[in-house]
Chain A
Amino acid sequence: MEHEVQRVRQAFLSGRSRPLRFRLQQLEALRRMVQEREKDILAAIGSDLCKSEFNAYSQEVIAVLGEIDFMLENLPEWITAKPVKKNLLTMLDEAYLQPQPLGVVLIIGAWNYPFVLTIQPLIGAIAAGNAVIIKPSELSENTATILAKLLPQYLDQDLYIVINGGVEETTELLKQRFDHILYTGNTTVGKIVMEAAAKHLTPVTLELGGKSPCYIDKDCDLDIVCRRITWGKYMNCGQTCIAPDYILCEASLQNQIVQKIKETVKEFYGENVKESPDYERIINHRHFKRILSLLEGQKIAFGGETDEATRYIAPTVLTDVDPKTKVMQEEIFGPVLPIVPVKNVDEAINFINEREKPLALYVFSHNHKLIKRMIDETSSGGVTGNDVIMHFMLNSFPFGGVGSSGMGAYHGKHTFDTFSHQRPCLLKSLKREGANKLRYPPNSQSKVYWGKFFLLKRFNKEKLGLLLLTFLGIVAAVLVKKYQAVLRRKALLIFLIVHRLRWSSKQR
């Protein structure tokens, strides 16, 4: 393990991951990999999660291609130094922020969207000029295998490597030193990752999870609301970190919600959900059993059918759920949707705030003020109002958690920034040493006044222009006054010369 990491570090120290051209080349190669080997990638994802080719394509591959293209388009601009505002003291100097790679970054992927959650961070890490070690989740075995097979065929084999393995290998890997670690997974392991990182003072980005609440107001179109929620909840069989985990609504709405979700499920997945090609399965038996146990003692409004052999759990809705029961104590990460009745939006807000900050928060209402209030009075990684999941789709958004749902963010430029050090630089010249007399001891009170002037005033080009003009005007006036006699003689001379030239040109 140590040997592998050392090899990658040596590759980074060679400097070849830094030139823009190289980074673009690698990103283009990655793109080719995704396009040329699409079938293999889709098959791998498909066998890990029983996902249709189309779903794997639209949920994972598209996002990766989009991210690569976005990176290719913008990288030349992102890589350049950004000048910053100066003050009077530094007005003649160069001051800017220079993005630089961090070094060797570790990306630990997750199993629920095993391709995009590993490759999207990789894209940003490459773009920022780093060397990368990728540790895909061992739970999504086939994707882990295909990544280990394909990446070395397309990317630089010393700079970007895949290390596969289980808990033991990951623990060993975490003992090594990295320059940044991006981990996607659960809270418990998130703490382990951060603790391991602390030993080396390695910064971390932790994309964790939690219970993402979904508040449904009385004032809304329940048909539309339930369609959107059904889509977001049962996608990938509920195994989405930003899926609406549970619903909060007034008790009177429960029956209608159940009915409409039931209808939508039928519309999306047909009479026999088990036979729908668009409905996935639970990743493994351990999670299957875990989710089953959450149903114990609950009122199943519809769904609840399971098949252990195929790890199938039907789209399920629970009503009148008691907040103290197990299903409300952990992130569900499965196709089970509890409805917890609350009296009103005040109670909903209190309910949410009593719990850990979630990764996402959803609120459905026609009342814009209510949505605003929900956002103002709660906290979460991100928010989508009147829909679910969608804030994940905008790569201009930072995507990340807060509190126990995570720290740091990525997507688009935010990935580039996460994996870069924005180095502040101030470049002066060795001239104009006279100006420095102000700061050298021995000191006097007048120096304090001047110090305040130069430090507190901002460098404003327009104001300075005016100041300069005034100054020049004064200088000009002084000079004119001082050298009146000389200037008069010179003016006379110039007049005579011009007159002579005009006269001689007229002669010709």
Chain B
Amino acid sequence: MKDGTDPFEDTLRRLREAFHSGCTRPAAFRAEQLQALGRFLQENKQLLHDALAQDLHKSAFDSDISELIICQNEINLALKNLQAWMKDTPASTNLFTKLDSAFVRKEPFGLVLIIAPWNYPINLTLVPLVGALAAGNCVVLKPSEISQGTEKILAEVLPRYLDQSCFAVVLGGPEETGQLLKHKFDYIFFTGSPRVGKIVMTAAAKHLTPVTLELGGKNPCYVDDNCDPQIVANRVAWFRYFNAGQTCVAPDYLLCSPEMQERLLPALQSAITRFYGDDPQSSPNLGRIINQKQFQRLRALLGCGRVAIGGQSDECDRYIAPTVLVDVQEMEPVMQEEIFGPILPIMNVQGMDEAIEFINRREKPLALYAFSNSSQVVNQMLERTSSGSFGGNDGFIYMTLPSLPLGGVGHSGTGRYHGKFTFDTFSHHRACLLCPAGLEELNNIRYPPYSHSMQELVRWALGSHSCTLL
């Protein structure tokens, strides 16, 4: 870069040429790539476990259920359904096009860029990749430089499995990514913060590149008075402290009445002790903060409100104890930014209406949770708010269902993916109408000159309710 040459130019040109050659289009090629991806996961399981342990102190179990199994599931789904997904979708015709063949063709966009984050570095890199490959694109992958262990494997091992004329991994930090974004891509898939999301979309606008932005926000978790505090505490605690809270869809803060708070606190303590033991720092099931910068940021948040549970931290270990904060004010930092750590503030509200009002005053979150024995309460929360996704009486277990897409709305993102939705995201849906070459008499009605009687006929035929024929 010092001599002014662009480090990405050659790679991108090579991939573009490969795409134009058409080699990624046949189903057989795509299936081969997906199978190879599957082999990458199976043959390097230990390597991946070690890397995730190194980056995030993830246990093998957590790595399996939140990363490797999910990816394998997506690969299997794509392989099983590839032919069906690739097929042209017939479109219903109207009176004027009855004799035509009408279908929607799913086409790859071309050269796509996937920018992945560090918190689930395998999952959030490979799941979009599965869809991009299945859709027939050439892919440039930019894994996060922050999760260094997994970045190394993705850069050095993964390319050996895929066709390197159609796939490349590029590395670098914010500066390199900025330079990468100056280039033209046919689609950009970004997972990360809203702040960087704006930068990505602005760069994409210069080339009119469509984007999917999987961002974040503060995911509210409303706990109604009518519920079993222990069950709620179990579920909330598990989803909050999984991966040391570094999950975009984790419950970010709790909304409940002061009475409920009194019942929840001991229940949360009980859940934390049950999951992580009396000394959570020695539990193999609790993750660590990804790096010093994030650690310092989170440690500063511990000063907000009052620590009711946890609050301990260890800088050398980048360890923060599963923490619950109470007496938090809305303007404090812990309620102004996405926490992304094992800290759960509780805000008091007097009932569901106040909770809804609180939530709707803020940016639309990526996820929203409501706990109540009353299905009416849960449904009200659903109807009167907006968020990427919604979980009633549980956390983000919906992530295991590929039939439900993951995506944000407003500041939490645009677009969605998982399962077939990823394939559709990375495809251009091209409307194709094949008309008969003959039968020209039928077309005469549309040609000028339009005599008065012809006009009357057309008006009559297409007037009022018969417009549905169109």
Interface-centre pick from B62, B387, B449 (highest chain A CB count, 10 A) = B449
Interface residues of A in 83-141 (CB under 8 A from B): 84-87, 89-90, 94-95, 97-98, 100, 102-103
List chain B residues, Cβ under 8 A from A66: 462, 467-470
Interface residues of B in 172-219 (CB under 8 A from A): 186, 194, 197-198, 201-202, 204-206, 208, 210, 213, 215
Number of A-B residue pairs having CB atoms within 8 Å of each other in the complex:
303
- Encode contact with B along A58-87: 1 for CB under 8 Å, 0 otherwise: 100011011011100100000000001111
Say how far B303's CB is from chain A's closest CB, in angstroms.
28
Q: Flag the segment in A248-256, A297-305, A418-426 that touches B.
A: A418-426
Say how far B149's CB is from chain A's closest CB, in angstroms.
21
A442 at the B interface (CB under 8 A): yes
List chain A residues, Cβ under 8 A from B40: none
- Encode contact with B along A413-447: 1 for CB under 8 Å, 0 otherwise: 00000000111111111100100100111111001
- Encode contact with A along B240-282: 1 for CB under 8 Å, 0 otherwise: 0000000000000000000000000000000000111100000
Contact across chains for A455 and B238 when beta carbons are under 8 A apart: no
B389 at the A interface (CB under 8 A): yes
List chain A residues, Cβ under 8 A from B450: 52, 54-55, 278
Contact across chains for B448 and A276 when beta carbons are under 8 A apart: yes
A379 at the B interface (CB under 8 A): yes
Contact across chains for B436 and A393 when beta carbons are under 8 A apart: no
What residue in chain A is nearest B241 (Cβ atoms)? Answer: A441
Contact across chains for B94 and A393 when beta carbons are under 8 A apart: yes
Contact across chains for B404 and A424 when beta carbons are under 8 A apart: yes
List chain A residues, Cβ under 8 A from B440: 223-224, 227
- Given A195-B205, A227-B443, answer yes or no on A95-B404 (Cβ-Cβ < 8 Å): yes
- Given A195-B202, A427-B393, answer yes or no on A375-B276 (Cβ-Cβ < 8 Å): no
Contact across chains for A386 and B91 when beta carbons are under 8 A apart: no
List chain A residues, Cβ under 8 A from B231: 430, 433
- Encode contact with B along A400-422: 1 for CB under 8 Å, 0 otherwise: 00111011110000000000011
A456 at the B interface (CB under 8 A): yes
Q: How far is the CA of A221 from the CA of B232 in the complex (A)?
A: 72
Say how far B300's CB is from chain A's closest CB, in angstroms.
26
Counting chain B residues whose Cβ lies within 8 A of the other chain, the interface size class is 35 or more
Contact across chains for A195 and B433 when beta carbons are under 8 A apart: no
DSSP majority for the A interface?
A: mixed
Q: How far is the CA of A199 from the CA of B208 in the complex (A)?
A: 15
Contact across chains for B437 and A221 when beta carbons are under 8 A apart: yes
What residue in chain B is nearest A180 (Cβ atoms)? Answer: B414
What residue in chain A is nearest B434 (Cβ atoms)? Answer: A385
B386 at the A interface (CB under 8 A): yes
DSSP majority for the B interface?
A: mixed
List chain A residues, Cβ under 8 A from B430: 375, 379-383, 402
Total interface residues in chain A, CB < 8 Å: 113
- Given A58-B458, A423-B386, A428-B392, answer yes or no on A90-B208 (Cβ-Cβ < 8 Å): no
Contact across chains for A442 and B205 when beta carbons are under 8 A apart: no
Interface-centre pick from B231, B405, B467 (highest chain A CB count, 10 A) = B467
- Encode contact with A along B280-299: 1 for CB under 8 Å, 0 otherwise: 00011100000000000000
Specify which of A206, A365, A424 is in contact with B390 (CB 8 Å cutoff): A424
- Encode contact with B along A196-211: 1 for CB under 8 Å, 0 otherwise: 0111010100101000
Interface residues of A in 262-297 (CB under 8 A from B): 267-270, 276-279
- Given A366-B437, A425-B390, answer yes or no on A227-B65 (Cβ-Cβ < 8 Å): no
Contact across chains for B447 and A227 when beta carbons are under 8 A apart: yes
List chain A residues, Cβ under 8 A from B468: 66, 69-70, 73
Please list 13 pairs of residues, one from A and one from B, whose beta carbons are closer than 8 Å in the complex, sorted by A's number: A62-B470, A65-B467, A179-B410, A366-B437, A375-B430, A382-B433, A383-B432, A383-B433, A386-B435, A391-B432, A396-B93, A430-B393, A433-B231
Extra pairs beyond A62-B470, A221-B437, A451-B61 (6, CB < 8 Å): A57-B459, A85-B403, A90-B397, A194-B208, A386-B435, A428-B397
